[in-house]
Structure 1
């Protein structure tokens, strides 16, 4: 039976946590009408998922919300390191690292930086801004069913308070509905990987005197290794509010009911080494660390994002960041297809680009948990400590998809970070002047493809403008040294690995789609062909 829709919308999003709200924000910035449904009545109230890496903050900068997020995170702005200790009062104290960016390297690589903003503080910022962009976001509403055909997706949504059902017709559905994704299960998409790694109970509590034991140690997390009560301690306000992750072993018959308030308080006292600490337990939430990646990220017009597509160990906060970056990858492609300047087959590049990155990142996250001896994860690290955190965060690359000319030896995540970006990699940051305005080259990338041509590349810039006129592709063209004046004259060619007569094509998500090291005999024909192939227009 064909259902007559009550509503029509280009994009339907199911799931209103970090990834779904980010998708709404990114789509709203691009003017794409959409509807988001979330079964819960409000945003998260539990302080978790706090690590937002520099790449994610670059995306939030482009979306205009970075200052608001940093404002929401201001109480933890001075927390940087990861400490490992037997107890807070014991003799065995080791900083796994004391500063996120000890040498100030990030200032040269990005206009943004890391930000410690818990999910319960970040989600309201995303929600407020998404709604200000006319995002139709409905909490207390769940997706009941969905079916697709060649032209779109028909879904039934239900308002939980009233039980009212409505039928929605959408061109595309983004399933950001969590690790037990009902949409993924309906599609029969399996998961690959080792599966469950360990289980914890996250205990929120108040303890005014704990700050005395912590002293001036401003950590992101402290791994407490007392064998009688191992766990992870995280500050909420560095004063009275804290979180303690206690290992939970359901496979041995341990239940959540076993974590009474008194037992939780005693675990915290033993772990911290403060036996007379007054502890007020304010909440408990179980969570499961796993390494799984979906066998495929899409089925027709239904696209998986975030935890529905991948689960990762929490060490390093790779999972939430990867999910937000999924949403960003999807947003520009949906906008391009829906507006007609890219072919529908562009959506097929989502799996080719994002799934290999998730596989490599998930493996790095599990290795990092072993390296940090995360409480509950009884796996020895494979070798020495992992290097290359920046390689995971800023240098992940797309080996296939909406890219052309990717070097043959490229890995999804390189062994070491390099600021020089090949096709398939994140376009590098460079401070430039546009008139009197100082901006990062990353600020150019959000709405349209961008062609950057070198100081001797006027032919590329002219060709780009003709191609935009002829094809209707909204290509922005800038000449280095004319439209944009770098503060470091030599940096543009070095970081993009091109000569003064070369050109670089950058996608709206800030990834290099293609480059020409030097001039071309027929730049208009070359550029037109590249755009046709990258955007799947033919």
Structure 2
């Protein structure tokens, strides 16, 4: 059963997926006592989420996990996307990075306006972390758990086999009843009660805690794609997945292979996801639970048949590792908070995987929430600050859900151009089979396919959505200027593709601080947080009119910002900041880090008092 859970803690985190592990890392870095419990007996053993975008990597950088996530597993960053009949057979079309463009059959087409923006080809320079990563969820969970253990043990680590049976709230605390050692199945175990100041439910899409609080989920899919909406439960399509290992490097030329293969075979169509660029893959296909036998009843021979049909061959080293089913939904919780209990990650938003925003939104949820809870617990902020969590993160969740639904709808247009009629989603097995039958004799409409691929740009290139979103309400003081990014609109408002594709750095309140490489002249409080510090900055170190001073520490401006204090960023303006800052500290009674940026891009950071 493991060591007993403590009777009291400041924060109890329920769920040790990427969101819960990220929350535990954030609180540990802030010095907050947090207990992380998970009903499963071990981490995930089959890949699910796999995209880690730039903003999430910046969060990992801030808590000391970036090096391990970016380098620890030797992951590549596949960029090519392919639409094929079978992987080893006919190719309908492909989509590459902006410099490669779209390929229809054998003809390469330039990306026109409305496609990926050439303006963002240099986006890695707009973030200290470079490109987004392709890393399977089990590997990410293993890495984050290791970082938590190595940096913060024995005070912080994931406790598996701990099922939260119930939650009770009082004015000043939350008490959770936990069965330790029973696992998700609710077996026999040690029952205990854990008191905490705040509880964060990261317990997944079916969140028992959310349901116990009476929080509902709402969907805007009826407005975006009415044909895809099932009013019974908001399910867009049920899918089956098969996790398999096989060396497929003979099927591609790129260093890491394509990121995704959409296949349209004789008996099935679906998606193959590349998890390590060599021999780890997952195949997804539509599934009709009312008309087909469940995956757990499938023999290995049946799984091999389905994988082979998608590939167009049966690899000699093919090994079936796991299988299961999942439901594609698109819902956002009507509330993210009830009293001292907060929802984060899949417990408060569920997206189609189109664009890879689900896991990333959850990681960024807890980064937002953790510093606010820390400020309240340490007494330098009012509990009213916690209301800003929902004010800021709900619009982001709604926006990402809606854009994911639009991305998914665009896939149907691509299917139609290839020859699948009717296109997804399919309500019945017979409808699905009719579409596959039509594909056998249909001719791919190359012009329509090219246009459909162009319109799918926000699915693949979303720098504006990843790091350009803004908070319009919350813990901020507006300056009265309009939102230049236009990444968030009022609820249920159509989104311009430009706001998703293009990132515009801005210092408007509510926006992410723009990235800048700086040379730190002094600052004992600075922590070097990632291998990206080794990248060549905009101005080299050494002598010369454009160089940083020799001996200075090269860092990202983000690194100079405090995790557990307010950062005051100033520039030369004739103000005697050395006199002003102490007065601000005395007046506001908050921990304050002063970062002064000189005109030549050199930062002078002074530690907090």
Distance (whole Å) between structure 1 residues aligned to residue 146 and residue 212 of structure 2 = 31
Question: What displacement does 1:205 show?
Answer: 1.5
Asked if 1:393 is matched to 2:458, the reply is no
Moved more, 421-430 or 405-414: 405-414
Question: What displacement does 1:63 show?
Answer: 1.0
Task: Give a deviation string over 1:386-442, Cα, whole Å, max 9, x none.
Answer: 446111101111110101115464355345431124111111001111120111111
Q: Which residue of 2 aligns with 1:468?
A: 585
Task: Give a deviation string over 1:312-370, Cα, whole Å, max 9, x none.
Answer: 11122100000000010111001100000110111111111001110011111121223
Q: Which residue of 1 aligns with 2:273?
A: 234
Distance (whole Å) between structure 2 residues aligned to residue 6 and residue 27 of structure 1 = 17
Q: Which residue of 2 aligns with 1:384?
A: 455
Question: What displacement does 1:123 show?
Answer: 0.8
TM-score for the superposition, normalised by structure 1: 0.83
Distance (whole Å) between structure 2 residues aligned to residue 285 and residue 421 of structure 1 = 45
Q: Which residue of 2 aligns with 1:9?
A: 9
Distance (whole Å) between structure 1 residues aligned to residue 45 and residue 388 of structure 2 = 35
Change (3 A) 1:47 1:382: closer
Equivalent position SS for 2:49: coil
Q: Which residue of 2 aligns with 1:90?
A: 89
Judge conservation of contact 2:272–2:283 (CA < 8 Å) in 1.
yes
Q: Map 1:130-169 onto structure 2 (within 5 A).
A: 130-131=148-149, 132-133=151-152, 134-161=155-182, 163-169=189-195
Question: What displacement does 1:226 show?
Answer: 2.9
TM-score for the superposition, normalised by structure 2: 0.74
Distance (whole Å) between structure 1 residues aligned to residue 453 and residue 93 of structure 2 = 20
Q: Which residue of 1 aligns with 2:352?
A: 313
Gaps of 5+ in 1: 490-507, 509-538
Q: Which residue of 1 aligns with 2:553?
A: 437
Indicate which of 183, 186, 205 corresponds to 1:179. 205
Question: What displacement does 1:246 show?
Answer: 2.0
Question: What displacement does 1:455 show?
Answer: 1.5
Judge conservation of contact 1:22–1:126 (CA < 8 Å) in 2.
yes
Q: Map 1:22-41 onto structure 2 (within 5 A).
A: 22-41=22-41
Judge conservation of contact 1:458–1:479 (CA < 8 Å) in 2.
no
Distance (whole Å) between structure 1 residues aligned to residue 503 and residue 71 of structure 2 = 30
Equivalent position SS for 2:455: coil
Distance (whole Å) between structure 2 residues aligned to residue 168 and residue 45 of structure 1 = 28
Moved more, 264-273 or 276-285: 276-285
Moved more, 93-102 or 124-133: 93-102
Distance (whole Å) between structure 2 residues aligned to residue 13 and residue 281 of structure 1 = 34
Judge conservation of contact 2:375–2:564 (CA < 8 Å) in 1.
no
Change (3 A) 1:241 1:478: closer
Q: Which residue of 1 aligns with 2:111?
A: none
Task: Give a deviation string over 1:106-125, Cα, whole Å, max 9, x none.
Answer: 23200103111211111122
Equivalent position SS for 1:151: coil
Asked if 1:358 is matched to 2:397, the reply is yes
Q: Which residue of 2 aligns with 1:500?
A: none
Question: What displacement does 1:136 show?
Answer: 4.6
Judge conservation of contact 2:261–2:273 (CA < 8 Å) in 1.
yes
Distance (whole Å) between structure 1 residues aligned to residue 355 and residue 382 of structure 2 = 36
Change (3 A) 1:295 1:116: same
Distance (whole Å) between structure 2 residues aligned to residue 401 and residue 238 of structure 1 = 41
Distance (whole Å) between structure 1 residues aligned to residue 409 and residue 316 of structure 2 = 30
Distance (whole Å) between structure 2 residues aligned to residue 277 and residue 407 of structure 1 = 64
Distance (whole Å) between structure 1 residues aligned to residue 63 and residue 317 of structure 2 = 43
Q: How many residues align?
A: 481
Q: Which residue of 2 aligns with 1:73?
A: 73
Judge conservation of contact 2:77–2:134 (CA < 8 Å) in 1.
no
Q: Map 1:46-61 onto structure 2 (within 5 A).
A: 46-61=46-61
Task: Give a deviation string over 1:243-300, Cα, whole Å, max 9, x none.
Answer: 2112212254553356443232222222222267663322102222210000000001
Q: Which residue of 2 aligns with 1:526?
A: none
Distance (whole Å) between structure 1 residues aligned to residue 332 and residue 517 of structure 2 = 37
Q: Map 1:102-501 onto structure 2 (within 5 A).
A: 104-113=121-130, 114-131=132-149, 132-133=151-152, 134-161=155-182, 163-193=189-219, 194=221, 195-208=234-247, 210-216=248-254, 218-226=257-265, 228-253=267-292, 255-257=294-296, 259-274=298-313, 279-373=318-412, 377-378=424-425, 384-387=455-458, 389-405=462-478, 407=480, 409-410=482-483, 411-413=486-488, 414=499, 416-435=502-521, 436-445=552-561, 446-456=563-573, 458-459=575-576, 462-481=579-598, 485-486=600-601
Judge conservation of contact 2:79–2:258 (CA < 8 Å) in 1.
yes
Judge conservation of contact 2:467–2:512 (CA < 8 Å) in 1.
yes
Judge conservation of contact 2:18–2:137 (CA < 8 Å) in 1.
yes
Distance (whole Å) between structure 2 residues aligned to residue 457 and residue 43 of structure 1 = 55
